[in-house]
Structure 1
Amino acid sequence: MLCKVPFREAMALGFLMNTKGLVELIVLNIGKDRKVLNDQAFAILVLMALFTTFITTPIVIAIYKPARKGAPYKHKTIQRKDHDSELRILACFHSTRNIPTLINLIESSRGTGKKGRLCVYAMHMMELSERSSAIAMVHKARNNGLPIWNKIERSTDQMVIAFEAYQHLRAVAVRPMTAISDLTSIHKDIITSAHQKRVAMILLPFHKHQRADGTMESIGHGFHEVNNRVLQRAPCSVGILVDRGLGGPSQVVASEVAYKVVVPFFGGLDDREALAYGMKMVEHPGITLTVLKFVAAKGTLKRFEESAPDEKEKKEKETDEEFVRELMNDPRGNESLAYEERVVESKDDINATLKSMNKCNLFVVGRTAAVVSLVHSSDCPELGPVGRLLSSSEFSTTASVLVVQGYDPAADTRPLVEEDANYDQSSKDISEFTV
């Protein structure tokens, strides 16, 4: 406490330092052999060594809980009333394969001038293995208390150089960081960093990448589980990026950015957050945004007369309508924004409408859109009913997809980090509704 360590941390550190190990017992045995300690003193000291060691765990657990809920902050979503406020994004990536699309997406999200202030924390997720090189990198990163990217050796990290070069060319603050951890626990680093940096959205790479023939190939089940855990525990909005080469294999110059972005809107919290992100992108002069609002046909609504919507559903629908009205009056879109309403009677109509737009560069869609599943089966429920269709090889091989999960403060009752045993596999399933 004299060194300004907080009380809880100081108390926990004191109990941890009071534990006794094998060296303590060896010293006591030497003392007894040399007649420094009699049998009574030896027995007392051995019992005290065992007692203080065993009592440490329950005491530390009781007084020190790093997983307790963190202090709240204001901007946890893209959707906000103050459009002039700084937007903070935690962009995660596995390898150099993700970097060009990620930088092009950041470039598209930066807006213009002071109103488009953007701060990006670029996190390189590295799996900690038993190889000595990975262990050495951890020690190198922690030896002097400085992050690995601040050392002289950072020039050898090509991934960091790419983001540093982009920062110098654009009015975007980029803070590279590296998370070296086991895949079973790296989600804790992501969640904790997102809270500490007070970000509004976490961007995660999809656990599959596109091969030359257009099919999607998994890079590992571990990264799939990382995305699922982050979606469950994130303290802000989350976006999963299905990379199909947005802007090509290299960074696009700002003056050459010309992307067509489509936001399918079915209603709900996630769709509103996806649309808010699309409105952020349309501030860029090279972005054209098309908003497709799907409306159920009147004949379709009659089929569901018996199951009348409850008060919560009515309030949700009113919120959607108000949000769309604000969108139509938003001056940010100008001539780059197109709004269309499509009346649909079945999921075949939805499929046909979406496929008519599959030549665009990027789809931004809500994760739990209020629509039935548009594909028969999928091993990626975290993408939601619409995201699963848009990310399939049969739909498109050129359009990237950003699946957005909006932050719901009412559902955020968990601590920042929980034990892995609490991770329920069945909770990954997505609730799907009918248009």
Structure 2
Amino acid sequence: MPESSRFRTAFIEKIEDVSTLLLLPLFFVYTGLRTQIGLLNDPQLWMITAVIILVAVIGKFAGSTLAARFVGQSWKDSLSIGALMNTRGLMELIVLNIGYDLGVLSAELFSMMVVMALITTFMTGPSLDLINYLYRLKKPSIQQEIQNKSKFKILLSFAKSNTGISLLHLADALTLKSKNTAEITALHIEPSNELHHYEVETQEQDSFREIKEVAANLEQPIQTIFKISSDIDSEIVQTSNEQRQDLLLLGVSESIYEGSLLGRFLDFTSRIINPEKLFHTVTNAESPFTAFDRNQQINAKVNAMVGILIDKNFVKARRVIVPILLKNDEFLTAIIQRLIHHSDAQVMVWDFDQILRKQESFRERLRQLEQLVPNHLTILEEKNLDADLWAQQDLMLISLPCWHKIVNKKMDWLHHTPSTLLLADRKK
């Protein structure tokens, strides 16, 4: 750096130090000496001062709070921003002094405005302490917090009622015997461009009417969330992550065929290999082979395990088949155990590629589970299963990469499959 530039920089820094350490305190002293509180010797003048303070607080505190809330901040953060913005400091006093020198402000009004600036500035610390205290009181007790963390949380995201009902039956199968330690939430998001504001309440009631009736028949407690959004995918991601869900269940109509949710959640896009074949009809027509290709990473991701239900009128999980093709399928053991424990399911683990022989830890986990429930878990190593055995199954449980593999191979038994739950382990 040239000598002249260094000198200029050092000179500016010195000027700033003099301004901060000498001139700024003198300015505050000067303003204080000009403030004549004794002029406010009438109750009416103090009432006007109170009105000025009230208007100032409403203008900055309330205005900043509502603006912050409008752009998506929480109430706690919005109130904190309002409290900080409500502070009047140097700029306020400079404007007041200029107005006083120009004769725009009388001595009485100048004193009122200075009092307002001081009071709103002094309010900041106590206001922030009060906000923090109030929101600290709203936190659940330690016991309640531990209880909430121990709950197995399932989020059902559906577009149509019949999809939501099938997802509810699946969630019930996973939590049947421990409803007090489980939490099931049904989420329905309506596209913002398809709904008028006067239709919101009616649409919300219609969206959850059938699923609530089924939940009542199952004696399954259920919470509901209704949202309106132009970006449904991101809204589901945000809801799942904010509520720290353990399992996110999606219906096939939104995830596989439209290629949106699956690609956004699991870094896959979808394509239908045989587009001329429609997906499972109510007459159990042949389903198309559907494959998933790797897609680019996205910013918003689901922290929970994600399940996509390909529904063929799923109601109960009495018989479940689990094809194993990859060593990473070991995470399916947790869901197998849940289905056996809560639904007394008869589970067949189909190791037709002899993966369990190579994966010792996976084999050991299944062996321990088999010893605990010998009548509920069977391990098969046959290369092919007959159609009658497939027809007896209520659900096929399979990992998403495994599904990808068998679809690419175009296995001839795919059209025999029952309702299928594709699972991707995305837990951190």
TM-score, length of structure 2 as denominator length: 0.51
Q: Residues 2-401 of structure 1 correspond to what in structure 2 (within 5 A)? A: 5-6=76-77, 10=81, 85-113=150-178, 117-129=181-193, 131=194, 134-136=195-197, 140=200, 157-170=205-218, 172-182=220-230, 185-207=231-253, 208=257, 209-212=279-282, 214-216=285-287, 233-247=301-315, 257=316, 259-269=318-328, 271-285=329-343, 287-296=345-354, 317-329=359-371, 331=372, 333-342=373-382, 349=383, 352-353=384-385, 357-359=389-391, 360-369=393-402, 372-375=405-408, 395-396=415-416, 399-401=418-420
- Describe the shift of the 1:11–1:273 C-alpha distance in structure 2 as closer, same or farther (beyond 3 A): farther
Q: Could you tell me how far 1:170 is from its partner in structure 2? A: 4.2
Kindly name which structure, 1 or 2, has the bigger radius of gyration based on alpha carbons: 2
Residues 254-273 of structure 1, C-alpha deviations (whole Å, 9 max, x = no match): xxx5731111123433x223
Residue of structure 2 equivalent to 1:69: none
How many angstroms apart in 2 are the aligned matches of 1:319 and 1:191? 32
Sequence identity (%): 17
Return the alpha-carbon distance in structure 2 between the equivalents of residues 12 and 189 of structure 1: 30
How has the CA–CA distance of structure 1 residues 374 and 94 changed in structure 2, closer, same or farther, with 3 Å as cutoff? closer
On the 8 A contact 1:265/1:294 being kept in 2, the answer is: yes
Q: Distance in 2 between matches of 1:339 and 1:265?
A: 10
CA distance in 1, matches of 2:352, 2:286: 29
Give the distance between the partners of 2:84 and 2:309, measured in 1 at CA: 41
**C-alpha distance in structure 2 between counterparts of 1:264 and 1:322, whole Å:** 17
* CA RMSD in angstroms, aligned pairs only: 4.5
Q: Distance in 1 between matches of 2:206 and 2:360?
A: 49
Return the offset for 1:174. Answer: 0.9
Q: Does 1:403 pair with 2:422?
A: yes
Deviations 1:371-422 (A, max 9, x none): 9544457xxxxxxxx8xx77x5xx13x710000001253xxxxxxxxxxxxx
1:37-64, Cα deviation, whole Å (9 max, x unpaired): xxxxxxxxxxxxxxxxxxxxxxxxxxxx
Say which SS state the counterpart of residue 323 (structure 2) adopts: strand
User: How many residues are aligned here?
Assistant: 268
**Residue 369 of structure 1: CA displacement?**
2.8
Aligned AA (1:282): I
Q: Aligned partners of 2:210 and 2:172: how far apart in 1?
A: 13
Which sections of structure 2, spanning at least 5 residues, go unmatched?
1-60, 66-74, 86-103, 105-146, 258-278
Structure 2 residue aligned with 1:52:
none
Q: Which amino acid aligns with 2:192?
A: L
Cα deviation, residue 121, structure 1: 1.0
- d(CA) in 1 for partners of 2:355, 2:246: 36
Letter of the 1:265 counterpart: I
The whole-number CA distance in structure 2 between the counterparts of 1:357 and 1:106 is 25
SS of the residue corresponding to residue 5 of structure 1 reads: helix
**How far does the alpha carbon of each residue in 1:305-325 deviate from its partner, in whole angstroms, 9 at most, with x for none?**
xxxxxxxxx8xx344234323
> What amino acid is the match of 1:197?
Q
Q: What is the distance in 1 between the residues matched to 2:191 and 2:226?
A: 11
Q: Quick one: distance in 1 between partners of 2:232 and 2:84?
A: 24
**Alignment-mate amino acid for residue 135 of structure 1:** H
Q: For the Cα contact (< 8 Å) 1:263–1:363, is it kept in 2?
A: yes
Assess if the C-alpha contact under 8 Å between 2:165 and 2:211 holds in 1: no
Distance 1:246 1:336 in 2: 20
Q: 1:199 to 1:358 in 2, by over 3 A?
A: same
Q: Partners in 1 of 2:404 and 2:238 — Cα distance?
A: 33
Cα gap change, 1:262 to 1:228, in 2 (>3 Å) = farther
**Distance in structure 1 (CA, Å) of the matches to 2:363 and 2:225:** 40
Partners of 1:235 and 1:12 in 2: how far apart?
A: 34
Instruction: Please give the TM-score of this superposition, normalised by the length of structure 1.
Output: 0.51
Q: 1 or 2, which has the higher helix percentage?
A: 2
1:210 deviation in Å?
A: 2.6
Gaps of 5+ in 1: 15-35, 37-81, 141-147, 219-223, 248-256, 302-313, 343-348, 378-385, 410-435
Alignment check: 8 A CA contact 2:327 2:355 kept: no
CA 1:12–1:112: 2 relative to 1, 3 Å: same
